[in-house]
Structure 1
């Protein structure tokens, strides 16, 4: 069975889609478990660093923490904002308003909320990656899969 590619779908959306339907894909259509540094950097942005020491057996707890804010260090994550206009991350709502005023002509005197193009970061989803030391773990429909990053013979 072939997955119909959507011309509007970017590479990250395509990866998410393939991971979501992986069980029905032919072997050659399945998403890669190995990425070059360049490809990985194109697909992923670092959004937060958790305080503390975590291990592979903590991955499910980390997933749950991102869904329900069970980690005290998640407050930094929940305060983070993303600006669609310039594809950047901003720390906190006040900084987001300042950023929008300085860079995008937003006038806080005329508005009472953050601009619509600045918003909080979503919870963890299929395809997202948790890095523990130098090992990368990609969230799947069920559990996590270790992936490799780096090397020239990878996608």
Structure 2
């Protein structure tokens, strides 16, 4: 993998994120957000691919397995946070700070909860309901 591409895209992404915190004009910050999405997504993809190829990277990514197994529950949880909690905080802080901060806090919280949850239970709550409707019977939930 070309690590220079990762470094370049990562630098562009970091600069645009920092610039969004410094810009006070909401329209300019939103335009910068739109422009920065492609380099940021490519940085995430390259970083994940780089980490998967390394033994230490696979070890670091291990907690994300549980997060992925509960993808639908986590997605709906993020939606609830975005609909109900985010609007309450927008008036007090910079929109960029709130969006990134709340996203990171929600993500870390969900990773922790997913790992604890799946130690004792086979499926996430929404995944369990989905599975029950798919098979038209109650599927065992607890391990």
- TM-score w.r.t. structure 2 length? 0.28
Query: TM-score, normalized by length of structure 1?
Result: 0.27
